[in-house]
Amino acid sequence: MGANDAWLIRSAKTGDGADLASLVPDPDRRAWRLRNADEARETLLVAELDSHVIGAVSIRWNGGCDAPNPWIYGGEVLPNQRRKGIGTSLWQEAHRLCRNRGARATSLDVDVTNAGARRLYERLGYVVVGPHEHRWVGRDSETAAVIAQGTADTWLMRCALPAEDD
């Protein structure tokens, strides 16, 4: 897993739930991401600093919105830790894992209003493929019934991942 002088990038583990609450406040969404990682449908990467989780991003291995590419979503760094390179480290580690699994590209979407994140993605090598409609659902934590849903206008972005020997 990636590391530098200050923070460590690693897979989420049991016990990260409390720290993740600051990054993924919705308890159902948090539980869903942890469960998907636990059951290997996804990888949930976290950034750890001084024994606390300060950033996270998820990789969905199958069934993303731009198959067959792994789908990277839910990137978030605590507000007081932003613009230090932690987001970049999370994505670099995500790309390394994707390359190791043989992916030749990764995909994500970004709200059309989120110019800052789009700038970061472009610096990482992403290019806009076209407009995308992001569908979201909110579920009741007890029954899993859909209690809210909606759409957001996003850009679909893709990043080529050259193999090491390309």
Ligand X SMILES: CC(C)(COP(=O)(O)OP(=O)(O)OC[C@H]1O[C@@H](n2cnc3c(N)ncnc32)[C@H](O)[C@@H]1OP(=O)(O)O)[C@@H](O)C(=O)NCCC(=O)NCCS
Least Å distance, CB 7 to ligand X, is 10
Question: Which of 13, 120, 128, 139 touches ligand X by CB under 6 A?
Answer: 120
Rounded Cα gap, residues 114 and 22, in angstroms: 20
Candidate segments 14-22, 98-106, 113-121, 126-134, binder of ligand X by CB under 6 A: 113-121
Query: Does 110 help bind ligand X (rule: CB under 6 A)?
Result: yes
Q: Does 48 bind ligand X (CB under 6 A)?
A: no
Please pick, from the candidates 82, 99, 134, 139, the single residue that binds ligand X as defined by CB under 6 A: 82
Stretch that binds ligand X, among 32-40, 92-100, 115-123, 125-133 (CB under 6 A): 115-123
- Alpha carbon distance 12, 27 (integer Å): 16
Give CA 138 to chain center in angstroms. 18
Judge residue 61's burial from the number of C-beta atoms within 10 Å of its C-beta, 0-12 exposed, 13-18 middle, 19 or more buried: middle
> What angle do helix axes 115-124 and 86-100 make, rounded to 10 degrees?
50
The amino acid that residue 162 corresponds to is P
**Nearest residue to ligand X, using CB?**
116
Judged by the rule CB under 6 A, the positions of this chain that interact with ligand X are 75-77, 82-88, 110, 114, 116-117, 119-120
